Structure 1
Amino acid sequence: MSLYKYVFILFFTFWCQGALSQNLKLKIYGANASETKIIDSIGYAKEAIDFITLQNNLNSFKTRLSQMGYIENEVTIPLHQENETFETTIALKTKYESVYIKTANTPTSQLPNEIIVSQTNDFIEIKMEHIEVALNQLNKALVKEGDPFSKIQLSNISKHSDYKLQAELTTTTIQKREIDSIIIKGYDKFPKSFIKHYLKIKKGNVLDLELIKEKTKNLENLRFSKQLKDPELLFLKDSTYLYIYVEKTKSNTFDGFLGFGTDETTDKIKFDGYLNLKLQNNLNFGETLSLLYKSDENEQRTFDVNVKLPFLFGTPINLDAGLNIFRKDSTFVTSKQDVELSYQINAKNNIGIGLKTITSSNLLDSDSSIALADYDSQFGTINFNHFKPQFNNTLFPVNFVFDLQFGFGKRNDSNGDLNQIISSINSFKIFNLNQKNSIFLRVQGALLNSDNFYDNELYRFGGINSIRGFKENSITGNLYGVLNTEYRYAFSPSMYIHTIFDAAYYENRLLSSEEKLFGFGLGFGFLTNAGLLKFNYASGKTEDSKFKFSESKIHLSLQANF
């Protein structure tokens, strides 16, 4: 075969492919030049890959015309081919601007005000282009009332005036549905009380699937479970089954840190640290058991145990009980007991009342220069808690916490009774600027309002969990406030660095002193096979002193889930 034949065959092949791949063209005319101009201004798909698509485009355009008010539009010249273009003629006829709808007993409060032209007790006027939106809104309102198979439509449509129509709104209801049974799939031992009191989904609730989907999203707020997929419904003749798909997740945590710095008097390195163990939902009850042991460089020891039992006996009431023992070398020992009953307002908010008792013993001789005493205190407390997680972020799984407590009570010692007031706040928020950058802010503080004070009843703060760059629990006061700030940059979903800038103010009326404190530093964290490893380097100073890097604090901590 000659070269010319090869070239001819190649050219013919490409020509055929080009010819076969050309789109079909569509041209729509109106009954007159004016209508054609209107059709062109509205716009339509003028090309299609095949004839079926072209026909569908034409039908879609006719539907759009009806929605715009040209409900009498009619094809006067059927679709036909002229050369390479398919042509048709549509007579638009009268454009109706709005419809007066007789609403009867159908509620119209669900309709947005912007689509309503006018309204009376019996009629509502809606623009033609908003009719579909209005019907959909009204149908959703019926679905929310438990009738997922309801139908709503306009009937008895007639002419009201030259450019307006009138119609009746008719509703076809089948059967109102309620939730007859709730079935958990994936995690069969999921605590059922959380469905009723945490998600607020109960048997007998009017069926509203969209509302149920919103509620089940709150499963993501639980540390011990996550939602596998959206809930589903099974409709039987006389009953409705709700299926919720849940998976159990690792929720036990171990948190520990090792801190070290230079002793001011001996110039030797001293160590401190803590161990914090939290066991959650191991009994498939949603319960939480927390254990904490802390030892710091000031020869202070803390032991704390807390248990939380949610939704006692199937009620919406939670029980929190705790014991805290603090020992200051051979100076004093203080024991605190807390009991609180709380109510779960919703998935994020909790309010409670409780009783706090404190017993402290002076371990020194009676002639000690330190203002210590044996005393007992009792407080009635009220507490509010807000919790918002972001568990999709493995580095920072909690976005917002707000915890506020007030207490009123009295202290009893050898001098008699003394009325006291206590209050505390602990809150933090992460502001996510984008995927990599975020700002962390935390505010914490406490107040003891009393006519006089003992050293062994004052608040103790300082260290990695309050103002960084200072020794653990080295600062005492009857009032203090701490602001922690961090700018965080995430290199990846498993590694980040951050700045440290802390500020604090405290008062110690026992010593007639008040002071401002500051802490500066850097830190980083990264996920390992063992958990999240954090490193902080911080240096602290008072308002009138200078930074001493020899007194800086280094903190290493590891948090693991299991």
Structure 2
Amino acid sequence: MSNKKKKLLLFIFLILESTCYAQEFRLQIIGNSNEETKIIDSLNYQTKHKNVSSINDKVEGFLKKAYFIGYIEVKTFQLNKINDSTFQKKINLGQRIKKIILTIPDLETIGLLRLQKNTIEIPYPEIETFLIQTIHLLEDNGYVFAKAKLKNIIRQQSLLLAELDIQKNSTRKINTIVIKKEEKSKFPKGHLTQINRKYKNKLFNLKSLEQINSEFNRLNFVNQLKYPEFLVTQDTTKVFVYLEKKNSNTFDGFIGFSNNENRFTLNGYLDIQLENIINKGEQIQIFWKSDGNDQKTFKASLALPYLFNSPIGIQTDLQIFRQDSTFQNTKTTLGLNYRLKNNSEIKIGYNATQSSVIQNSNSNITGFNNNFITIGYENKDLFIRKNSFTPRFSFNALLGAGKRLIETESKPTKQIQIEIKNIIHLEINTKNSFHINNHNYYLSSKIYVENELHRFGGFKSVRGFRENSLSAFWSSAFITEYRYALTNKFYVHTIADLAYFKTNTLNVTRNNQLIGVGLGFGAQTKNGLLRIALASGALNSQRVKTENGILHLSYNINF
């Protein structure tokens, strides 16, 4: 054969092959009657296909769909080729099963399913869902290896009668939680003891396993390498968690620049928090703050949880506040807390404050000593995911009763102190959320002195005002933000702060209100959380002046 003929044959072959590849096939499924064909058409099967293999796959899928809705005795016939592009499949649907009546002979199962009698009627398409839900319900009650199936099935036209056969085996309870790998020696023994105490003899199921997973995710100083695993033997049920130590220490600080009446001022603070550095679950905080008006604050605190592997912890604080050359307050606190099982704790404590007047230029400032016995409650619900910027929910309440003795008086005055803090983070969706921080304070006393009042205002309080520039014996502040997440590591937000407070000067009480408005953003970097905000504030009926705005910078660094 000459080369020209070979090339011609190759060209013809390529054209035919291209035509074959471009050809489209059509599937037609018909029933044993016109009525069955209408039912088949209502099931919306795919009619156009690129090849015969696709047709066979879709026929199989159609038969499964028909079986699922109750056509359990479908008869099929050979796939016929009507012409070059059309294939026809004939089937006989038969009578459809519409519902099934189950008999449940086991009284315990009847109780678990919350049934009033030993029979239940179920639409046939829902039987698979019912069996899955039944197994999940049995698992929730400790029967983790339960099985459910139907037996003694009898057909009566469009109805099935069957008996629910359940193999529950025995219930399992958690015996111990074990930390695997080398991180066991670095995990606080007190934490592990309390977690084991919380879950020991609890029914073992998927729900309790998820609760254990969440329990360890709430700890700031560890990461879980994988989801908890379990080992079930004849006598014991063990849960294994795989942990690695995480650097949960933080360094937080910000610098604020303000322009008030053509005066440039600089303020800032330093906040260092150390956690589990000696593998005891301890928390150490060192805090220092200085604003542009000669106010200085120093605070050091130490918290030790689970003393002697018990639910009891201890906390001690030292706080020093100095107002320029006017006065200095030194406050010491000692408290005990008892950790409850629901991520909350109750507290009891004692605190004492000594105030010394350095230079008295205000008749309402005088030296004093006070002491309070306090009780409190705290609850926190943290986000259990990466790159979260705030707790989901936090509630902290403190009630104190005590006495205060002023230098110019010989008899102490009884006082009551109440402080309530709330944080609520509402997620609308993955992009939009609202963050609300509410802080309430009240000091009850016959008379007040300026240097004992609650001080607020600033970046972590009402924004748009200088740090600690406001004082009151009663205050209620709402710190709100609308947040929009551009990515999972960057969000922008509005600032809308509102506060009501009462002051008392020379026994004259005055009601005040203030607002702070502005914009800001937060960015989760490799090393921590960067926040920048610009806000302006106004007191009572004053107009918000943007030229008096305060720029706040904060960078919370993890190390």
TM over 0.5: yes
Report the residue type matching 1:140 in the other structure.
H
The structure 1 residue matched to 2:377, chosen from 383, 387, 394, is 383
Match of residue 353, structure 1, among 347, 352, 361:
347
Aligned pairs for 1:198-209 (under 5 A) are 202-209=199-206
C-alpha displacement of 1:157: 1.6
Query: Which whole-Å deviations, capped at 9, do the CAs of 1:345-372 have from their partners, x for residues lacking one?
Result: 43xx413131232222333589972342
Q: Quick check: 1:221–1:391 contact (8 Å CA) kept in 2?
A: no
Partner AA of 2:228 in structure 1: P
Q: Provide the rounded CA distance (Å) in 2 between the counterparts of 1:2 and 1:268.
A: 96
In structure 2, the residue corresponding to 1:463 is in which secondary structure? coil
> What letter matches 2:309 in structure 1?
G
- Cα 1:82–1:312, aligned 2, differ >3 Å: closer, same or farther? farther
Shift of 1:407: 0.9
In the alignment, which residue of structure 2 is the partner of 1:115?
Answer: none
Aligned residue for 1:153? Answer: 149
Deviation per residue, 1:395-437 (Å, 9 max, x gap): x621434333131412142543544322223334445566666
Of 353, 363, 367, which residue of structure 2 is paired with 1:369?
363
* Deviations 1:12-37 (CA, angstroms, capped at 9, x unpaired): 23533653786876554433333333
Task: Determine whether 1:411 maps to 2:403.
Answer: yes
* TM-score when normalising by structure 1: 0.83
Aligned to 2:66: 65
For structure 1, which segment, 404-413 or 4-13, has the greater mean C-alpha deviation from structure 2 after superposition? Answer: 4-13
Deviation at 1:378, TM superposition (A): 1.4
SS, match of residue 38 in structure 2: helix
Offset of 1:57 from its aligned partner? 4.9
2:136 is aligned with what amino acid? K
Counterpart of 1:138, as a letter, is T
Partner residue, 2:394? 402
Q: Equivalent residue for 2:287? A: 292
Q: CA offsets per residue over residues 506-534 of structure 1, 9 Å max, x none? A: 21124423322233444455566765444
Aligned to 2:109: 107
Q: Secondary structure at the match of 2:39?
A: helix
Does structure 2 retain, via aligned residues, the 8 Å contact 1:390–1:399?
A: no
CA positional deviation for 1:67: 3.4
Matches for 1:457-468 after TM superposition, within 5 Å:
457-468=452-463
Tell me the secondary structure at the aligned position of residue 10 of structure 1. Answer: helix
Q: Displacement, 1:446? A: 0.9
**Structure 2 residue aligned with 1:519:** 516
Residue 30, structure 1, aligned to residue 31, structure 2: yes
Find the aligned partners of 1:547 and 1:478 in 2 and give their Cα distance: 25
Report the CA distance shift for 1:521/1:340 in structure 2 as closer, same or farther (over 3 A). Answer: same
Summarize the alignment of residues 421-440 of structure 1 with structure 2, pairs less than 5 Å apart.
421-431=416-426, 439-440=434-435
Q: Does structure 2 conserve the Cα–Cα contact (< 8 Å) formed by 1:323 and 1:338?
A: no
Take 1:74 and 1:437, find their aligned partners in 2: how far apart are those partners? 51
Letter in 1 for 2:278: L
The number of residues matched between the two structures is: 548
Closer/same/farther in 2, CA of residues 539 and 129 from structure 1, 3 Å limit: closer
- Once residues 353 and 15 of structure 2 are traced to their aligned partners in structure 1, the CA distance between those partners, rounded to angstroms, is 95
- Mind listing any 5+ residue stretches in structure 1 that lack a counterpart? 113-118
1:277 to partner: Cα distance: 0.5
Normalising by structure 2, we get a TM-score of: 0.83
Aligned positions of 1:142-541 closer than 5 A? 142-159=138-155, 162-185=157-180, 187-188=183-184, 189-191=186-188, 194=191, 197=194, 202-213=199-210, 215-236=212-233, 239-261=236-258, 269-328=264-323, 329-346=325-342, 349-363=343-357, 369-389=363-383, 392-393=386-387, 397-413=389-405, 414-431=409-426, 439-488=434-483, 498-511=493-506, 512=508, 513-524=510-521, 526=523, 531-541=528-538
3-state SS in 2 of match to 1:323: strand
Greater Cα shift, 368-377 or 76-85: 76-85
Q: 1:82 to 1:498 in 2, by over 3 A?
A: closer
Partners of 1:158 and 1:166 within 8 A in 2: yes
Q: Give the Å deviation of 1:295.
A: 2.5
- Structure 2 distance, partners of 1:384, 1:425, is 10
> Are 1:130 and 2:132 matched, yes or no?
no
The CA distance in 2 between the partners of 1:278 and 1:230, in whole Å, is 29
Distance 1:59 1:269, change over 3 A: closer
Q: Given residue 250 of structure 2, which amino acid in structure 1 is its aligned partner?
A: T
Distance of aligned partners of 1:403 and 1:59 in 2 relative to their CA distance in 1, 3 Å threshold: same
30-39 vs 1-10, which moves further:
1-10
Q: CA deviation at 1:495?
A: 5.5
User: Contact (CA 8 Å) 1:275, 1:294: kept in 2 or not?
Assistant: yes
- Secondary structure at the residue paired with 1:313? helix
Q: Residues 311 and 47 of structure 1: is their aligned pair in 2 closer, same or farther, counting only changes over 3 Å?
A: farther
Q: Call closer, same or farther: CA 1:538–1:124 in 2, change over 3 Å.
A: closer
Q: State the Cα RMSD in Å.
A: 3.8
Q: Find the aligned partners of 2:522 and 2:369 in 1 and give their Cα distance.
A: 43
Contact 1:279 1:290 in 2 (8 A): yes
Q: Deviations over 1:123-182 (max 9, x none)?
A: 1111211111111111222233333332211111224x5432322111124444344553
| Contact 2:485–2:491, Cα closer than 8 Å, also in 1 | yes
Aligned match of 2:136: 140
Please tell me whether the aligned partners of residues 327 and 357 of structure 2 are also in contact (alpha carbons under 8 angstroms).
yes
Match of 1:75 in 2: 75
Equivalent residue of 1:473, what SS?
A: coil
Query: Which residue matches 1:97?
Result: 98
For residue 195 of structure 1, report the CA deviation from its aligned partner: 5.7
Contact 1:301 1:327 in 2 (8 A): yes
| Structure 2 residue ranges without an equivalent (≥5) | none
Which one is further off, 272-281 or 21-30? 21-30
- Structure 1 range deviating more: 34-43 or 440-449: 34-43
Q: Tell me if the contact between 1:534 and 1:557 (Cα under 8 Å) persists in the aligned partners.
A: yes
1:199–1:178: structure 2 CA closer, same or farther, 3 Å change rule?
closer
- Cα displacement (A) at 1:56: 5.9
Q: Is 1:67–1:131's contact at 8 Å kept on the other side of the alignment?
A: no
